[in-house]
Amino acid sequence: MLGFVYPSYTFADETDPVEEEDYTEYESEEEDAGSETVSGQAELPAWYPEDVSAFVAFHDDSAPRVVDDADIFSDEDEAQMEQRLCEIRSEIDKDIVIYTDVSLYGMDQSILAADFYDFNGYGCGDDYEGVCLSICMDPNDRGWWAACSGPETMKLYTEDYANDLDDALYEYMAAGDYAGGVKDWIENFRTLYVKGRPFAPDWLPNPGEEPERFHDPSAPRIDDRMGLLTDSELKSLSAQASNIAEKYGTDAVIHINTSLYGMDIAEYSEKYFKYNGYGLGDDYNGILLTMIYRRGDRNSSANISDYMYISGPGPDKLTDVNQERLNGIAENKVRLASTGSEAAGMSYWLSQIDHMERTGRVSRSTGYWIWIVIFSSGCGAIFGAVKLKGAKKRMAVPALKESADAYLVANSLKISGKDRFLNSHTERRYNPVKTTDDSSSSSGRSSGRSSYSSSYSGSSGRTHSGSGRKF
């Protein structure tokens, strides 16, 4: 573990050196220096200032950015993280700090994270921009808190992004891979700074940038970032896509991934196609099928999303009806793998684009024609049964009765009349019952398992935001 020389905040006048015979007493006083309390609750950490009210903010560029007082990292991992954080600070002028301990010292973890950052000289620029990830390894209260400082960092660290980052970190921490989780978290937070969102792919432009469109003939037309397809399946599907491009001038692309990087699938599909060199001709003509496989059962359609993006005019004969049918193929034959495998469904989707260009239409599915036959047969059977019952009823011969009166149905003769009243008025009101659906909330997202604060103050009085989670 890298050594951390904690700054001292004793503001009293210096005393004379302690004489040799008093060394034992002096050492005892030093050991008791950390026994002060926060509101009389628990000991303070050694780096805590003796007089918070006298604290003056400062920058300490030489302070280590990884302080592992809980000793959960190897020396090698700690050195790697320290070097990486130094590189990031030089690259983007933002401070990322990692602090671990075995106690919260009677404080809330959000306050401890903010105080460690403030009282040890971290932060870049006049606003002390940066973030501190504080991890508590108390067996009875394990968790973390990310305390953000500075207006730019606080604005970027929204509740949605906080939950996304915490979700990713939780898997590592719960599994005991502390170094792996923190390294991943560091890179994700750097991406948040650079791209404006965590987990963003390298090809996504930085905020405010709009690179020129380009053509990349070497870009894979079957881009499997998940490893779903075999080499032979990739080769076969790529040949189909290449054949469509050569014959019809339409770039047919299939993209498979496990994440949308914080975007909705429509936005992600458009940006993926646009910034990876796809599309043919001046209009960047093409069609993209995006398949997103989230964690969970691959056989469950709830864990899979699909979207078809059209660039330029798209295929020549892509009418609304044909587009609807291609979407149905993507859902039923690829996402639900009704053909037996995803690769077979993707091959069928590509073949129908070829068929559409040749004939002007996309074939209806086999299931559609089976449903038509079943529905027609069912309707015919029901209609025939009703007609037969009516015919039998009309042909029925009344049973023999002893007298004519016996043929009458009792109480079947009714005489009705209508009374008219003057100055009467009837009014009927309809009061609809209103229902609410929580799923239609503006955010459309769950707050997850994290605690989140958009603004709070540490002991120094500086404002922070942040989130945390137990593990």
Express each pLDDT in 94-105 by its tens digit: 999 999 999 999
Q: Which residues contact 211 (CB under 8 A, 6 or more apart)?
A: 205, 275
Q: Which residues contact 6 (CB under 8 A, 6 or more apart)?
A: 46, 47, 120
Give start-end residues of each CATH 3.10.310.50 domain in the chain. 20-200+452-470, 222-359
Amino acid code (one letter) for 342: E
Q: Which residues of the chain have pLDDT under 70?
A: 1-42, 295-302, 336-340, 365-448
The first and second tokens of residue 136, run together, are 């508590």
What's the pLDDT at 272?
Answer: 97
What's the pLDDT at 294?
Answer: 76
The first and second tokens of residue 167, run together, are 């979700």
**Distance between CA atoms of residues 442 and 261, nearest Å:** 20
Amino acid code (one letter) for 112: L
> Among 126, 127, 73, 129, which Cα is nearest to 97's?
129
**Distance between CA atoms of residues 254 and 421, nearest Å:** 75
**Distance between CA atoms of residues 347 and 350, nearest Å:** 5
What's the pLDDT at 108?
Answer: 96
What's the pLDDT at 63?
Answer: 97
Q: What is the pTM assigned to this prediction?
A: 0.65
What's the pLDDT at 340?
Answer: 61
What is the per-residue burial (b if ≥16 Cβ within 10 Å, else e) of 326-339?
bbebbbbbbbbbbb
Amino acid code (one letter) for 173: M
Instruction: Name the fold adopted by 222-359.
Output: Diaminopimelate Epimerase; Chain A, domain 1 (3.10.310)
What's the pLDDT at 259?
Answer: 85
Query: In angstroms, what CA-CA distances link 366 with 231, 319, 359, 373?
Result: 29, 21, 18, 11
- Identify the CATH class of 20-200+452-470: alpha beta
